[in-house]
Structure 1
C-alpha cells in the first residue's frame, strides 16, 4: 500500500496506533470505564447512578464506530477492543448490578441467572466477531441483525429497575421475576431471531423531518424524564420484535420466489 502524502499523512504513535484510530478507541475505553463504574455504584447501593453509567456506556458505544468511519480510523484492534468493552459494560456490569439490586435475595438461583445473562452476552459478541469476515450472512444481507444487540440487551435487562425507579413497586425487585426476565433477555441475545437494524429503519425522504422532530423530543425527554423515556423506548423495541420476524420472513420468501423464477428467454 502506498504511504499517504501531504496533509493526509498519518501521525503514528510509538505503539503503532495512528491518531485517527486513537480517538475512537479512546471513546471505547471510556465506555468500558463507565461500565466498570456502574459496578462500583451498585456496590454502594447507588442504583440510579449505576443505571446511568450503563446508559452512558451505550451512548459512547453507539458513536465510537461512527467516529472511526468518519475519521477513516477503522482497525481490527478497535473491533476487538469494542467487543471486549461491550462484554463488560453490557454483559458483566448489568448482571452484577441486577444481582445486587434484587437477585442476591435468592443467591444461588439469582447468581445462576446473572451468569446466564453475562455468558450469553459473551457468546453473542463471539458469534459477531466470528462472522465479521463471513460473506454469507442472510440476516445482514437483508438489512437485519441476528438477535438483540448487546447494548439493547443491557437496556432490556434493566427494564424492571427503570420501572421501579418511577413507581417504587417492590414486587419488581422479586428475585424470581427478575431472574426469569434476565434469562429471557439472555435468550434474545443469543437467538437467531431477525431484528431490525438501523439500515432497515432508513426513512423515506418525505418523513425525515418528522424523524428529526421525534429524535429531538426524545432527547429532551431523556433529560427531563429519563426513566419514563427509557421505559417507553424498551417497550417500543419489544413491540418491533414480532415485526422484524415477519418482515424477514417476507424478504426470505420473496428471495426464494426470485430464485425459482425461470430465466428470461434470449431474444
Structure 2
C-alpha cells in the first residue's frame, strides 16, 4: 500500500530584507528631508537644518550599506538620486527662500529656482555617467562638480551664520547674512559649483597612512564634539574648510592626470631594437 503523499508547501518568494534595507534607509532620508520643509514652514529653521544634516548622514550610509550587503541595483541608484534632489536640491532652496528671499517676491525666487534646477542637472549627469565608458582609474576618486549633500551644506551657509548669530545675540550679523542679495549670491555660486566640471575629492577610496590613523580618529572625535556643542558654528567652519579644499582637489586631479598621460605616452613608445 502506497504511503499517502503530503501536499508540498509553496516556497515563499520575494525580496530579502537585506536587499530592501538600503532602499528603506533612502526612504527614511527622503521623509526626513520632507520634514525639514515642514519645519521651515513653521519657522523652525534650526530644526530644519539639523533634519537635513541627518538626511545627509543617511545618504552617505545607504549606498555603502547596499555595497556591503551586495544589494546594489539600478532601481536603488535612481531612487537615491530622486531622494537627493528633494533633500539637497528642493529643501535647501525652499528653506532659504522662506528665511531670506521671500521679501523680494518673484525676484527672490530666482536663485532658489536656479539652485534646484542645477541640482537636478547635476544628478541627471551623474546617472548618465553610470552607463558611459569607464573612466581612468584615478578619476574614480573624484566627483565631477560638488556633490549634492555638500552642495546643500554650502547653500545653507547664510542660514548657518544667521542661526549662530541668533545664539550669540548678534542682530547686526543676522541682518547682514539674511539680506536677500547675499543669500541669493551664495545660492547662485553653489549652483554653478554643482553643475561645473570641477574635480572634487570623493573620499570614497581615500587611504589613510598607518601613522595618521590615530590623529584622524582624534580629529573625528573633536569634530563630533564641536557639532554637538555648536552645530551651526560647526556648519560654518565645515563650509569654509570645504571651499578652501577645492583648489587643492583640482591641483591633485591635474597632477594625477599628468602622471597618467606620461605613463600612457611611455607605454606607447616603441621598444628600441637590440640589433641596432
Residue number among 63, 66, 83 corresponding to 1:65 in the alignment: 63
Question: Aligned residue for 2:253?
Answer: 248
Aligned ranges 1:68-83 → 2 under 5 Å: 68-83=66-81
Aligned ranges 1:52-201 → 2 under 5 Å: 52-138=50-136, 141=139, 143-168=141-166, 169=173, 170-199=175-204, 201=206
Between the aligned partners of 1:156 and 1:250, the Cα distance in structure 2 is: 26
Between the aligned partners of 2:200 and 2:190, the Cα distance in structure 1 is: 14
1:142 Cα shift?
5.2
Ranges in structure 1 where 5+ consecutive residues have no aligned partner: 1-10
1:164 Cα shift?
1.0
Contact 2:157 2:236 in 1 (8 A): yes
Question: 1:198 is paired with a residue of what secondary structure?
Answer: coil
Contact 2:29 2:58 in 1 (8 A): yes
Contact 2:141 2:206 in 1 (8 A): no
Distance 1:101 1:256, change over 3 A: same
1:107 Cα shift?
1.6
Write out per-residue CA displacement over residues 166-204 of structure 1, whole angstroms, 9 at most, x where no aligned residue: 124211001111011101000100100011111463211
Question: Aligned residue for 2:242?
Answer: 237
Between the aligned partners of 1:157 and 1:135, the Cα distance in structure 2 is: 32
Question: 2:143 is paired with a residue of what secondary structure?
Answer: strand
Question: 1:145 is paired with a residue of what secondary structure?
Answer: strand
Question: Aligned residue for 2:5?
Answer: none
Distance 1:110 1:74, change over 3 A: same
Write out per-residue CA displacement over residues 18-76 of structure 1, whole angstroms, 9 at most, x where no aligned residue: 31221111110010001111110111111101111111110110101111112111111
Question: Aligned residue for 2:7?
Answer: none
Contact 1:21 1:78 in 2 (8 A): no
**Cα RMSD (Å) of the superposition?**
1.7
TM-score by length of 1: 0.90
TM-score by length of 2: 0.87
Contact 1:37 1:50 in 2 (8 A): yes
Between the aligned partners of 2:158 and 2:58, the Cα distance in structure 1 is: 23
Question: 1:106 is paired with a residue of what secondary structure?
Answer: helix
Runs of 4+, deviation exceeding 6 Å: none
Question: 2:132 is paired with a residue of what secondary structure?
Answer: coil
**Looking at CA atoms only, which structure, 1 or 2, has the larger radius of gyration?**
2
More deviation, 249-258/50-59? 249-258
Question: 2:200 is paired with a residue of what secondary structure?
Answer: strand
